[in-house]
Amino acid sequence: MLVKALKRFPLAPRSTQGGLLDDRTGGPTHVHYRRRDRQQRDRIAALYRKGAEHLVEIAYSSNPYPDGDPRRPQFDRMIDSGAHLYRHLHEVPVLVVPCVEGRFETAGVCVQASLYGSIFPAVWSFMLALRARGLGACLTTDHLFFEREAAEILGVPEHVTQVALLPVAYFTGEDFKPAKRLPARERTYWKRWGERP
């Protein structure tokens, strides 16, 4: 994982960050610490914003969920919170970019699933470990529309794939609640796709 620590904001002590990452990495994942650098952070945040705006244009220009779907009212809130994130990403104290060694965008599904599958459990465990210590993160991928530009900014070699970007900071408030989901039963099939008991 590539870690970028930034100034001026409350940061987890370096020992905590390092310990968390040491706990969560293994196999083909990678840890690399970078010195604080405001300009570098601003450039990554600008790429992220460009990616997020592009995603809104191509996929989120209108609410895709029908009336009665519990995801419909959440959609606008999700768009608002996503916009808040891209407007403020440059202020976030730590940006973690998990990476995996290898390039597999042209490989088959098995290789892709295996390599993404080898790092996302670590990413999720890392996010849970942060949470247990009063730090928050969220999973984002929008900067990957411009992965190569980000790689140049961060010095990531060509044979390495970035898989996400986690903004990390101490959170305020404790009023998190789970999003409403469709009942799992409606999305679970038996024996063959589309069949329900």
**Is residue 138 at the binding interface for ligand FMN, with CB under 6 A as the rule?**
yes
Closest CB to ligand FMN among 85 and 154?
Answer: 85
CB within 8 Å of 126: residues ≥ 6 apart: 1, 20, 21, 23, 24, 96, 98, 137, 166
Strands (E), the chain: 2-5, 32-34, 94-97, 99-101, 135-137, 160-162, 166-170
Amino acid at 45: A
* Of the candidate residues 179, 183, 184, 185, the single one contacting ligand FMN (CB under 6 A): 179
Place of tokens 């995603």: 55
Of the candidate residues 46, 56, 129, 139, the single one contacting ligand FMN (CB under 6 A): 139
Closest CA to 161 of 65, 109, 92, 97: 97
- Let me know if 135 is exposed, middle or buried by CB neighbors in 10 A (0-12, 13-18, 19+): buried
36 or 90: CB nearest ligand FMN: 90
Rounded to a whole number of angstroms, the minimum distance from the CB of residue 86 to ligand FMN is: 7
CA triple 164-166-114, angle to 5 deg: 35
Note whether 161 binds ligand FMN by CB under 6 A: no
Residue 15 Cβ, how far from ligand FMN at the closest point, in Å?
27
Q: Quick one: which of 44, 142, 146, 150 contacts ligand FMN (CB under 6 A)? A: 142
Shortest Cβ 179–ligand FMN spacing (Å)? 4
Choose, by CB under 6 A, the member of 17, 29, 140, 161 that binds ligand FMN: 140
Question: Given the complex with ligand FMN, which of 111 and 138 has the nearer CB atom?
Answer: 138
Instruction: Provide the mask over 73-92, with x wherever binding to ligand FMN is found by CB under 6 A and - wherever it is not.
Output: ---------x--x-------
Contact set with ligand FMN (CB under 6 A): 82, 85, 138-142, 179
